[in-house]
Structure 1
Amino acid sequence: QAGVYWFREDMKQLTTFRDLEPIGLPSYYVFPAGPVVSTSRAVFGQATWRVLDHLRLTAGARRTEDEKSRSGSTNLQAGPTFDPATDFAMPNVAALEKGKTSWRLGLEADAGPATLFYATVATGYKSGGFNDGCAASAGCPAAIAVPAETLVYRPETLTSYEVGMKSRFWAKRASLNLAAYRYDYSDLQLSGVAMVNGVPRYVTSNAGVASVKGLELEGMVKPTSASRLSATLALLDAHYVSYSPDGLHSWAGYKLDRAPSAVLTLGFEHGFRVGAGTLTAGAFSRISSDYQIGIPSQLLRYRVPGRSESDLTLGYAPQGGPWSVLLRVRNVEDKVAPVNIDSFGMTVPSEPRALAVRMDYRF
């Protein structure tokens, strides 16, 4: 198989920081930008060779070319609307081009009619970009000056290794999948609001080298024709290999953000014949160990305790009918945790307990 890919995005965006008088800035610190243009082009191909009846070898490659450009300004404003008589604006213009070739090799072996073993190694690429601001060497005001090296962030690259097994048994009423993997990142990209030279900015930076190693086990069984039981277990070791947020302190060995060491999920659903339709009841629970959220620009790390989060569902669908309805209770425990924490300590929480109703009609 082979193909081509083309993507172009044209947009305008506006980032505003307010009420900054306590740190010596005007009330409004604004980054209007537009047009912001992102273009990506790629050509790719993949082929599979049947070496033996039960053995297959796959090879593929992809060439990607990315272009990004932006035209905007960095504004210091007394109010929400820019006033050229009293406010100050500096051009915020940038452009870059980058390309990368990635590849994939895979091996598959059939150990039986319903059992497959596999191994893959592949590379990946995520384009770089630019941050807001003005290089200090360009003679711009101190309030918006930043080190030149922070204006552009480099592409992120990845080499992944995975081996695993997929199987079905008990007349295809049960399945068991097992996978072990390793991801080696270079120039891992981290994004968030950071204080740069005493001024807030949304910044993407490169975090050196990171390693992710994991083991995943997934199982499913249908005890009866109307019920289904599923479970997964994920064990993870994700940490920085070499990274210094400020050039002085080392975060080598620290865990990556939102990477719990263990996650267990359990699910069960059962269908009941009710009249001319099926009433399906289900329960799902995710149990996670603790994890970290880091603020590299402030050298801060927050620990989020482990917790469980469960959902309950009840749905009805008439046999052969075009409609269905689903009632869902999310987060039965009604426990919340930080989803994001910025450099000011402001937190975005997860959703509390919620009740949702969904209705579908197919035509």
Structure 2
Amino acid sequence: MIGAIVDACEDAGLHPSEIDGFASYGDDNNEPVRLMTDLGIKELRWCSTVFGGGGGGIAAAIGQAAGAILTGQASAVIVYRALVQGDSGRLSAAVMAHHLNTHMIGAGIIAPAQTCAIRANRLFEHHGVPQETAKAVVDACYYHGARNPEAVAYGKSLSSDEYENSRIISEPFHLFDCSRENDGAGAILIVSSERARDLKQKPAYVLGVTQGAAKGWGDLLENDDEDQYATAGFKSVARNLWDQTGLTPADIDVAQIYENFSAQAVASIIDHGFCTLEGAGEFITFDNLIAPNGKLPINTSGGNIAQGFVHGIGMIIESVRQIRGESSNQVEDAKTVLLAGGPGAPIVSSAIFGAERPQ
């Protein structure tokens, strides 16, 4: 974790000792007070993590960091996440504490893939979203990952036969529909727009962040609302993001759509208003999802599925790279990037990064 933070600071031209805040999500075990000594930090003024577990808090952590800066409680906040399974155990064990309550476990539902598979089947069978949309997401992730030197899928391809013949994890999910955990760490530095002018890199501006949950969402309630059950939990969060920024789905150049499982990414795209349930089959296609010329290029580093699953922290970093023009799958003149957190989590969040300072 220390190495990732030092790299982020060196990239920005800021000495690590000037950090005075930390924000994380998803049960990260790297407590800020333990990081201070190695980084030479003089004073810790902000320390927070997002409630609820899971990757749903990824954008919310950015919002907490920005809020700390805007209110004068901190001046340089690191948003970070690390996974080391040998020390912290497999992430699925932590997820169970947040997602899988006793009524699910009593029915034999003991893994995240099972809960998300139930929702995926509802999406496909009841609402009629073509299952090919999930494969399009996977194919787009592997297409981008194969071209990203930092991705576990770099230089590799995924054929239709490999996808279809891979083992079933929880129907309808094949192996390649599932994110698979990797050890690693990532960090980004959040400062005010005024301070960013004095640093050495082109900044990506935080145009808006929203987090929360809609009425009727949650592990004990999701069966009660037919419309909610097919979603990724983003309906109100996405609506609030568009209202907050004054932007619309048509204004987004690139999207980093957290895909714990492929069908949840499909539901997230629908929830954010890029298409409807009825129009998903026409919109969510491989050609539309790839850089540089797709209608909505997604997961341009390979995402959780093909770059590597360190709880989505790479998706924030890729958002910044797209704004800077540094992605291995660059979308020409990208001005706006949507980041959508882990779909289906108790708390979800989204953010929009921009190339230009908000007015």
TM class, shorter-length: under 0.3
Q: Whose Rg is larger?
A: 1
- Counting helix residues as a fraction of each chain, which structure ranks higher? 2
For normalisation by structure 2, the TM-score amounts to 0.26
Higher relative contact order (CA 8 A, sep 6+): 2
- Counting strand residues as a fraction of each chain, which structure ranks higher? 1
